[in-house]
Structure 1
């Protein structure tokens, strides 16, 4: 079958194309992710420590804020200029995947999120600092 008879590649030009991970496999079977300066597909100890700290902070933020109706974190995306809304469990899973695999895979954005139910990471940090300082 000729390539003209096939539908267009929906991932053409997408840096998160899942097929790129197949191209990134070297002869040992270890993945080499584009842009990685350290061992292929691995985080250095500083990066791992930061993610572990973020996971711990996320657990505190969820415990303090979910009972107040906050569903997760909103992030201003530097790449697309839009806000991304991450529910607590989705963000935890993404951070865990980053810790385990050295990168986060693309995921579906929240469907029609209500911005009133999401706060920034900085808000969470300030709220937690103020709440825990009162105790």
Structure 2
């Protein structure tokens, strides 16, 4: 469809156009070197946690959200993709929540860390 066939933009030339904020995506602050190191370390830890826990029926990580107060359930692949996106783009985009997650099949990051420490220290 040609742009000429569309109705006129009601905000054309308006400096308060709400869509102008969408053009600021390239202005995001890049991660600091320390933040990048943390995300890279989280990705490495996530791979270990998944390798140790997925075979035991754990589907991913649960996070208590400080913004909404709800628990957010992240399957392994979704969390990996979100962390990689943070590393690549400096932000995580919103995503669909897990559909009807079974809370018994998700654990916290702290649980993963403790489990990995215990298993790997016995080796």
User: Per the alignment, do residues 18 and 49 of structure 1 end up closer, same or farther by CA in structure 2, a change over 3 Å counting?
Assistant: farther
| Selected match of 2:68 from 66, 77, 80 | 80
RMSD of the TM alignment (CA)?
2.2
| Selected match of 2:90 from 92, 102, 121 | 102
**Mind listing any 5+ residue stretches in structure 1 that lack a counterpart?**
4-16, 26-30, 34-39
Give the TM-score, by structure 2 length.
Answer: 0.83
Q: CA deviation at 1:53?
A: 0.1
Q: Which has the higher contact order (CA 8 A, sep 6+)?
A: 2
Say whether 1:55 aligns with 2:56.
no
User: Rg larger in 1 or in 2?
Assistant: 2
- C-alpha distance after superposition, 1:56-105 (max 9, x if no partner): 00000000000000000000000000000000000000000000000000
Q: CA deviation at 1:32?
A: 1.4
Could you tell me how far apart the structure 2 residues matched to 1:18 and 1:106 are? 18
Report the 3-state secondary structure (helix = DSSP H, G, I; strand = E; otherwise coil) of the residue aligned with 2:27: coil
Report the 3-state secondary structure (helix = DSSP H, G, I; strand = E; otherwise coil) of the residue aligned with 1:52: helix
Give the TM-score, by structure 1 length.
Answer: 0.75
Could you tell me how far apart the structure 2 residues matched to 1:80 and 1:71 are? 23
Which residue does the alignment assign to 1:71? 59
Say whether 1:122 aligns with 2:117.
no
Moved over 6 A (4+): none
Name the structure with the higher helix share.
Answer: 2
Which residue does the alignment assign to 2:121? 133
**Mind listing any 5+ residue stretches in structure 2 that lack a counterpart?**
1-6, 10-17
Equivalent pairs counted in the alignment come to 110
